[in-house]
């Protein structure tokens, strides 16, 4: 899914840490058929607890919205 945002051959050099967190949060907020319609974000919270949210700077975002 990262390649949908940053196509192959795209330099990552211009990305800030904020950009990376935003991209990852959008990707992980997208429901997956392979997860029975859950998002990786929701599944990680259910599996590892709320500390994972803080430790990895996770936040649920609307994957259809851009910042």
For residue range 10-25, list pLDDT tens digits in order.
999 999 998 988 888 8
For 11, how many CA atoms within 13 A lie in the half-sphere containing its CB? 2
Torsional class of 59: left (φ above 0), alpha (ψ -120 to 50), beta (otherwise): beta
pTM exceeds cut of 0.75: no
Alpha carbons 64 and 13: distance in angstroms, whole number: 25
User: Which residue reads 């599996």 in tokens?
Assistant: 47
DSSP assignment letter at 12: S
List the domain boundaries for the chain: 15-55
As given in the structure block, the two tokens for residue 27 are 């990707």
For residue range 24-43, list pLDDT tens digits in order.
888 888 999 999 999 998 89
């Amino acid at each position: 899914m990262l390649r949908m945002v940053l196509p192959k051959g795209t330099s990552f050099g211009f990305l800030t840490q904020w950009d990376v967190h935003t991209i990852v949060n959008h990707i992980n907020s997208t429901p997956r058929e392979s997860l029975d319609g859950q998002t990786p974000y929701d599944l990680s919270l259910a599996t590892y607890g709320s500390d994972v949210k803080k430790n990895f700077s996770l936040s649920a975002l609307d994957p259809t919205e851009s910042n």
